[in-house]
Amino acid sequence: MHLFLVGAGPVGLVTAVGFARLGHRVTVADIDAARIAILADGRAPIFEPGLDEAIRAESAAGRLTFTTERVPPAGSAYSIVCVGTPTGPEGPLSTGQVEAAVRLLLEAAPPEHVVVVRSTLPVEGPDRLARLVEERRALGPCATVVTNPEFMREGAGLRDFDVPSRVVTGWLHPDDREVARAVADLYAPLNAPTLVADARSVALIKLASNVFLAGKIAFANELARVCDAVGADVDLVATGVGMDDRIGRAFLTAGPGIGGSCLPEQALALPQLSARLGVPTPLIDAVSRSNVSHQQAVVTRLASLLGRPITGARIALLGLAFKAGTDDVRESPALALARELRERGASVVGYDPQAMETACRADPWLETAPDAVEAARDAHAVLVATEWGAFREIAWPAVRRVMAGDLVYDTRNVVDATAVRAAGLRVEMLGRRV
C-alpha cells in the first residue's frame, strides 16, 4: 500500500521507517527543503539509534522516498500527519500546524482517502478536526479523518514501533468507526493490543498516559530526596515498591526531572484543561510543580555539597539531552539545571555526546566543551545530568588533574563510584548511598 506521511520529525521518520519495514511504500513530505535533502542523501536530520541505517535500507529497497510536495501522490490510500503541536500563545499542544496540514489534505485528496492524525492532540483537538471536515463536506464529499496517537519513546522509537505497547485509533463521527478499525489494521502484523474509540477518548488516553508516567517520575524524584534525608537507597526502595504488580518498576527511576517534548508539556496541558472545565484535579496539577521544585532542590543539594559558596563556582554539566539516546533538548532537565545554577551565580560549562548543537541553539548562554575532561577544567563540581553510557568510562584521574574542586554529583546513577573515588574525588548520588 502507498502511504503519504507529512512531517519529517522524530515521530514521522520512525513511523515512516516502521511502515516501510512492514512492506508499504511510504512517501515522506516536509516543508523544510534542507531536511528533505539530508534524508534523500540517506541520513537522518536527528539522532535516533538505528534510524540512519533504516532510512538507507528502506530507501535502497524503493519503499521510502522524500518530497517537499504537500499533497498526497496519486494512488496513495492514507495520509499520516505527524507535524508538531508545540506550545503556542494559547498554551500547550497548539494545533495550528495539524489543522493546516489536515485542511490542505482535505482539499487535495479524493473522498475515498483517509487522513490519519498521529500528532498529539489536546482533548478539544478532535472537535477542531471535525469542524474542518464539516466545512469541507459542505462543498462536497471529502476524505475521512481518523486519529492515531503514537506511544513511542525517543531513543527507542524503532523498537517501540515494531513492538508497540498498544495501537489506538479514534473516530470523529460514529459513522467512521470502520475506517478507524481499518487504520488500526495497518498495524496488524505487529500483533499489538488494539483499541478503537471516539477521538476525544483517544486524545485523553494519550494525555493521561504521559501525565501518569510523569507522575511516577515525580514520585520517584521526591522519594530520592527523602532517601537523601534518611540515608536510604532510592534504587532499592523503588525496586521494592515496583515488585507490586499493581505499581511496577518502570518510570520509578529518580533523576533530575522530566523532559522532552511530551511529558512536561502534557503535564501542563491536562491541568489547564481541567481548570477550564472547572474540574478540581489537585493530584494532576501537582506533577508539573513537583518537577520544577525538584530541579531547584537538586541545585540546592549541589550547593550544600560544594564546600564553598555557589556564587562564583564553576560547574561542569555532563549531559545536555533530556535523556540518553537522543539529541533532543526540549524541556531538558539538564538545561533547566544550567539556568538555575546561573541564576544562583554559578558558571556552567556543558558537554554531551550528541546534543551539543541542539543545546547551544536552545540555550545561547551555555558554554560548552569538546569532551568531559575539558568541561571539568577549573570546575568546582561535576554534575551528571544525562544517563549516557559513555559517562561510565570517563577518565576520572584526568578529570581530577584539571578540576579546581573535587565533587562529582551524579543525578542519574551512571558513573562508576569506585573509579571516581580512586581518582581522589568525592562522589554523591541522588537518593543513593555510595
Give buried/exposed letters for 341-368 (b at 16+ CB in 10 A, else e): beebebebbbbbbbbbebbbebbeebeb
Q: Is a pLDDT exceeding 90 seen at residue 202?
A: yes
Model pLDDT, residue 217: 97
Residue 434: pLDDT band with limits 50, 70, 90: confident
Predicted local confidence at residue 46, as pLDDT? 94
Confidence at 433, pLDDT banded by 50, 70, 90: confident
pLDDT one-digit tens code per residue, 339-367: 999 999 999 999 999 999 999 999 999 99
Spatial CA neighbour of 314 closest among 404, 415, 385, 408: 404
Say yes or no to pLDDT of 90 above 90. no
Active site residue 262: yes
pLDDT band at residue 113 under the 50/70/90 scheme: very high
Farthest CA pair distance, the chain:
76
Strand partners, 194: 167
d(CA 372, CA 353): 9
Domain residue ranges in the chain:
2-192, 198-434
Distance CA(44)–CA(25), nearest Å, equals: 18
Q: What phi, psi does 6 have (nearest 5°)?
A: -105, 115
- CATH hierarchy code of domain 2-192: 3.40.50.720
The pLDDT confidence band at residue 67, using thresholds 50, 70 and 90, is: very high
Q: What percent of the chain has pLDDT over 70?
A: 100
As to burial, measured by CB atoms within 10 angstroms (0-12 exposed, 13-18 middle, 19+ buried), residue 208 is: middle
Tell me which fold the domain 198-434 belongs to: Rossmann fold (3.40.50)
**Mean pLDDT (the chain, rounded):** 96
* Range with lowest mean pLDDT among 83-87, 192-196, 284-288: 83-87
Q: Tell me: the pLDDT tens digits for 69-86?
A: 989 999 999 999 999 998
Q: Encode pLDDT of 154-172 as tens digits.
A: 999 999 999 999 999 999 9
The per-residue DSSP string of 76-100 comes to --EEEE------BTTBSS--HHHHH
pTM for the whole structure: 0.93
Which triple of cell numbers denotes residue 321?
539531552
Task: Please give the Cα distance from 322 to 355 (Å, whole number).
Answer: 9
How many C-beta atoms surround the C-beta of residue 11 within 10 A?
25
